[in-house]
């Protein structure tokens, strides 16, 4: 009985190891895993305390072990960097992997769709490795924040699915939303809840 109890506790407490090899062997097309030019957009401040940098090390290990990718790492240094890069240089790559939160993805999507050749740019595959605070899109795609290896394997697999995008124009400004669009009260709540020191409602953001 003691032995059974210890085994149960061990399975409960120890983190499950995602089997990348089994996942790729069972579902992937090898031609899609190899010979791709991949840009990795890393937001170094996403999640805080070096979280995204640590995640990148884990992702890089998987990419190098299971694929033959031509990897280029691009670290954003300020707000708007990812958008500017996507608007200028994205067509040099087949896939863009975003290591960050929804803000990083938002910049990349808006950079791609701000191009005059947006129909071509929209064909570039996007992958998300959750490293932010909310990670709304990753969760919507069924990827939990702690599933780094699984997210990397999905990106490596090369199987894509279409995602609807909302275009919003206000005066001369145009933006594209991939998760949700809101204005007024809901938008204020979302922005204000990002700063715990600014408002006591930040602790309830995940309930709203």
Structure tokens belonging to residue 122: 């929209």
Structure tokens belonging to residue 17: 């190891």
From 99, 112, 49, select the one nearest 73 (Cα to Cα). 99
From 175, 154, 11, select the one nearest 95 (Cα to Cα). 154
The answer to whether 102 is a known catalytic residue is yes
Angstrom CA distances, 154 to 46, 66, 77, 157, 158, stand at 21, 12, 27, 5, 7
From 183, 205, 176, select the one nearest 193 (Cα to Cα). 205
3-class SS of residue 124? coil
3-state helix, strand, coil in the chain (%, to 5): 50, 15, 35
Identified catalytic residue from 70, 102, 117, 164 = 102
From 64, 68, 133, select the one nearest 94 (Cα to Cα). 68
Query: What is the C-alpha separation between 42 and 59, in angstroms, rounded?
Result: 11
Q: What is the Cβ-side half-sphere exposure of residue 199, based on CA atoms within 13 angstroms?
A: 13
Which residues participate in catalysis according to the annotation?
102
């Amino acid at each position: 009985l003691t032995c059974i109890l210890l085994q149960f506790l061990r399975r409960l407490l120890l983190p499950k190891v995602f089997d990348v090899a089994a996942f790729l062997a069972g579902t992937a097309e090898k031609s899609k895993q190899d010979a791709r030019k991949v840009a990795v957009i890393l937001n170094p401040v996403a999640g805080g305390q070096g979280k995204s940098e640590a995640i990148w090390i884990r992702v890089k290990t998987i990419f190098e072990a299971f694929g033959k990718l031509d990897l280029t790492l691009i670290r954003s240094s300020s707000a708007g960097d990812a958008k500017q890069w996507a608007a200028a240089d994205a067509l040099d790559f087949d896939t863009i992997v975003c290591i960050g939160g929804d803000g990083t993805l938002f910049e990349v999507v808006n950079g791609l769709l701000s191009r005059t050749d947006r129909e071509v740019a929209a064909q570039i595959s996007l992958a998300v490795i959750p490293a932010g605070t909310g990670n709304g899109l990753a969760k919507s795609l069924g990827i939990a924040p702690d599933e780094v290896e699984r997210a990397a394997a999905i990106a490596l697999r090369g199987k894509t699915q279409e995602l609807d995008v909302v275009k919003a124009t206000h005066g001369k400004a145009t933006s594209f939303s991939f998760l949700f669009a809101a204005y007024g009260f809901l938008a204020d709540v979302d922005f204000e809840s990002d700063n715990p020191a600014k408002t006591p409602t930040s602790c309830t953001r995940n309930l709203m």
